[in-house]
Amino acid sequence: MLIDFNKTKEITVPGMNNGTGMMTAKMYVDEQGKVIPCSIHADGSIGLHRHETSDDINYVLSGSGKAICDGQEEILSPGVCHVCKKGSEHSIINTGIDDLVLLTIVVER
């Protein structure tokens, strides 16, 4: 299967999961999960939320930020992968002046 994100419409999401600021994303969704290249813009965040049915894998392509997963803070930088396992809760915060660019993979299980 080939997913061509060059042909996928980008969406803008204000305050994702009651977070702050803006996020832009392109999404592929099916019954097994999601593939989401996305950018959390400066001063933006994805609010605290729980993954009841899936693992959420976030690979940092560029920018800087932090994730808070089950109360533990993790520093995000290019080449780092943050994983929020099924049943856990997390938030992601852009702490830099540039976009925090992620490739997010959501695996339903």
Indicate the burial class of 38 (C-beta count within 10 angstroms; 0-12, 13-18, 19 or more).
Answer: buried
Domain 10-108 has CATH 2.60.120.260: no
Q: Where are the domains of the chain?
A: 10-108
Tell me the backbone φ, ψ of residue 86, rounded to 5 degrees: -50, 130
Indicate the burial class of 29 (C-beta count within 10 angstroms; 0-12, 13-18, 19 or more).
Answer: exposed
pLDDT band at 42 (very low <50, low <70, confident <90, very high): very high
pLDDT in tens, 4-28: 999 999 999 999 999 999 999 999 9
Rg (the chain; Cα; Å): 13
pLDDT in tens, 43-65: 999 999 999 999 999 999 999 99
pLDDT attached to residue 8: 96
